[in-house]
Amino acid sequence: MPNRKKIGLVLGGGGARGIAHIGVLKVLLRENIRFDLLCGCSMGALVGSCYATGMSIEKIEETVLNLRKRDFIKWLNISRPTSSLIKGEKVFEFIHSLIGDKEFTDTILPFSVMATDLENGREVILKNGPMATAVQASISVPGIFPPVSKDGKFLIDGGVVNPTPIDTAEKMGAEIIIGVDLMLKSDVKLKNPGIITTLLQSYEIIRNQAVLHKINNTNPNTKIILICPEIRSTLDSFKFSDIGKLIESGERAAVRVVSELKNIK
């Protein structure tokens, strides 16, 4: 199509909730809704890296659905609580099993990954070098996984500063952005919140505000279409046992905006 505006797909962070990205991709591909570039944060970086390196959406879904409770337990190689609770080696092995030694130059479309510089709090857009290392950095939730050393920086979860990196897609040249967001939500009702709930909800508030800030500061000429799967509570971030429901949540959310996406001009 001549003079078609460049479309960017953004896959945001959100722990297990990010499995919903698989459902979104299924619908976009089934409906022949094309995108020209892709960027991801945290779980969105993991799902995005699989797609960007040429893995079919059917294979991505099959791989995730075949995961069992013992697989998640295997990844929990507990560390001495000095830098993190979990060493992260087993998780990196899983990432590497999916995308191998591929680099950003090996992708089927422009792809970037969001991380955070632990020393200065600035966002870091990763788009060069080994993808597995970049994805590991992007999912390194502070305190849970250790920081990843890369290019002289200590990198942590990109969701700390930019959970749904809409502005990154804009910097990559997108004029229309399809943003799959797992952060924005209405007020939650709490009853006698304990320490874990308080910590998790506080982290969610920070990331929610980060998403709003990025959206509000996007170029007004850039069209943004948000896809918001409904499974998005704080505790859903850790419910890796509900893989099928999470994928279905992404499918339903994408279906709701299909007509709008097909009318993109």
Judge whether 249 counts as a catalytic residue.
no
Give, in order, the Cα–Cα distances in Å from 30 to each of 26, 33, 57, 232, 252: 6, 8, 10, 24, 13
The question of whether 157 is a catalytic residue gets the answer yes
Choosing from 42, 49, 112, 140, which is the catalytic residue? 42
C-alpha dist (Å) from residue 124 to 20, 116, 155, 161, 183: 24, 5, 8, 10, 20
Does residue 91 contact residue 139 with C-beta atoms inside 8 Å? yes
Of 36, 157, 167, 236, which one is the catalytic site residue?
A: 157
Residue 50's alpha-carbon distances to 58, 60, 83, 155, 252, in angstroms, are: 11, 7, 28, 21, 22
Q: Known catalytic residues?
A: 42, 157
